[in-house]
Amino acid sequence: MNRMKAMPALVLLAHCASCALPPNLRSPDLRDGARSEREAALDADDDAGSLDASSDVTADQQAIDAEPVDTIDVLELDQQDSAADAALDSADTPAPDTGVDTGIDVRSDTGSDTGVDTGSDTGVDTGVDVPNDVRPDVTCLAPTMACGGACVDVLSSSAHCGACGRACTGSSGCVSGVCRSVNDRCASATVLGTDPVNRTFFGTLRGATVEPGDCTAAVSTVFYSWTVTAPSLVYASVTSNTSFRPKVAFRARCSATSTCGSDGCNDLRFEQSFAYVNSGTVYLEVGSTTAGDGDFTLTVSTIRTPVNNLGGVSEASALPVAATYDRTQTLVTTTTASTVCGGLGMLPGMMLFWLSCPTSPGGSLVASTCFPTRALDTVLEYRSATGDTTCIDDVGASACGPSIAGAGVGAELDHPIARGANLHTVTLRQKTASPYNTGVVRLTLTRPPGI
């Protein structure tokens, strides 16, 4: 029985006397005739009565057990079973991908290429170099160099002067690969526009020389110019950004001679100057009085002044250095001032001005025409080179305060002054045209320290 248990189920079925195998499982060695002879022998035993029913079953079983196992049948069944399993396994196992992808990848390649290109780049780049491409694939012939993916003449390019990325600043240009001043002659002055107000520029004295007419103290100079449309005060200040000591002066024309003076501020890196100009072109000379040269910051401005109609010239007076001014005077009818303040066009007026230094502390400016003896209706206006401005028109009793008799025709200005270098002006102007020839007025003024 143990051997029977070890046999495959299909073998047991093959030897079952009471079960007929399906045709596909029958062994070719089991013939119908052999089976019939065995059954006939059993039937004969039964007829003879030598065995009872139980003995018949036992005999049948013993005959089956005694029959030798058909080894060929077992091997063939095992081989068929193994072939079927192998077919199923081969169906489950995917075949290797030996073809070429013909579709389009729909997802981005997020991995990094880790390989190293070993071949030489013999092609020409037709696209734009990306930021990481620090060596553009361009071939340039001297004197050009590959800068930013293009061939640049470094002997004349202001953006790449002498080398890639070396830019010329201010009013300098690239000459033979070196940043040099391009306005070191009055005839080639850099133009700054028309009536500029508080305009700042950057310039250089690098490579500059001198020419006839320069102030005698200068060892190198450059020039600027701008157009003035009405009688004005023109102002310029220069701050050295390196170690040279600057000088600044105005010329009415290129053939004139510049007079270099000092603003009195005693600042070795700063200089400022002003001039009266009627109209036309004004020329500005910026120079160095020391052997060194370098870069600088330039600020220019234009402030309109009262005009002397007899000569058509600017009419302004420097305010005394004293902090207090108190004067009674008659506004000259031939001098007129046109300002936005108070309206009514050009009427008699006067202007006072002063300079402050880089170290000036600032403070409060107070000017007044509020006196009982006043005979004129007046306005006061403050204006500076940095563009600061204010207007006081005598509207109502509040102009001079309720304690002043005849309030409403005087004006009082109280304005904060910022610290630092500047040109400051105060204009006093008659407001009404009648009475026109009785221009007696008293003006008092206090101001922060200046020069």
In tens digits, the chain (451 residues) has pLDDT values of 444 444 444 333 344 444 444 444 444 443 444 444 445 444 444 444 443 444 443 444 444 444 444 443 434 445 555 555 555 454 454 555 555 555 454 454 455 555 555 555 555 555 555 444 455 567 898 889 999 889 999 998 988 998 898 888 666 778 788 777 889 899 999 999 999 999 999 888 888 888 888 887 788 899 999 999 989 999 999 999 887 889 999 999 998 888 877 888 989 899 999 999 988 999 999 998 887 678 899 999 999 998 888 877 888 899 887 768 898 888 888 888 876 676 656 788 889 999 999 999 999 999 988 877 666 778 899 999 999 999 887 665 556 755 454 455 678 888 999 999 999 999 988 876 655 545 678 899 999 888 7
pLDDT at 44: 46
pLDDT at 83: 55
Residue 334: the pLDDT is 83
- Phi then psi dihedrals of residue 394, to 5 deg: -80, 80
Q: Cα dihedral sign for 384, 385, 386, 387?
A: positive
Tokens found for residue 294: 């370098």
Q: Is 154 exposed, middle or buried (0-12, 13-18, 19+ CB in 10 A)?
A: buried
Contacts of 183 (CB under 8 A, 6+ apart): 171, 189, 190, 203, 222, 223, 224
Count Cβ atoms below 10 Å from residue 433 Cβ, excluding itself. Answer: 11
Residue 374: the pLDDT is: 64
Query: For residues 413 and 382, is the Cβ–Cβ distance under 8 A?
Result: yes
Return the pLDDT at 446.
92
Paired sense of beta strands 347-356 and 317-318, if any: parallel
Residue ranges in 28-70 assigned as alpha helix (H): 32-48, 53-66
3-state SS assignment for residue 445: strand
Give the largest CA-CA distance in the chain.
177
Work out the burial of residue 151: count CB atoms within 10 Å of its CB; fewer than 13 is exposed, 13-18 middle, 19 or more buried.
Answer: middle
Measure the CA–CA gap between 377 and 432, rounded to whole angstroms. Answer: 6
Q: How do beta strands 389-393 and 378-384 pair?
A: antiparallel
CB 379 within 8 A of CB 369: no
How far are the Cα atoms of 4, 320, 329, 363, 450 from residue 324, in angstroms, in the given order?
A: 137, 8, 16, 14, 12
Separation in Å, CA 27 to CA 12, 70, 181: 13, 9, 115
Q: How many C-beta atoms lie closer than 10 Å to residue 157's C-beta?
A: 20
Residue 311 tokens, joined:
């000569």
Contact between residue 427 and residue 391 where contact means Cβ atoms under 8 Å apart: no
Taking alpha carbons only, the member of 7, 2, 8 closest to residue 81 is 8
CA–CA gap between residue 148 and residue 164 (Å, rounded): 8
Q: Of 311, 248, 253, 301, which Cα lies nearest the Cα of 278?
A: 311
289's CB contacts (< 8 A; 6+ apart) are 217, 218, 219, 244, 245, 246, 247, 260
pLDDT the model gives residue 58: 44
Side by side, the strands of the sheet bearing 363-368 are 324-330, 440-446, 363-368, 412-417
How far apart are the C-alpha atoms of 206 and 182, rounded to whole Å? 10
CA distance 49 to 40: 14
CA distance to 188, 211, 224, 254, per residue, from 279 (Å): 20, 26, 16, 16
DSSP state letter for 71: H
pLDDT at 384: 96
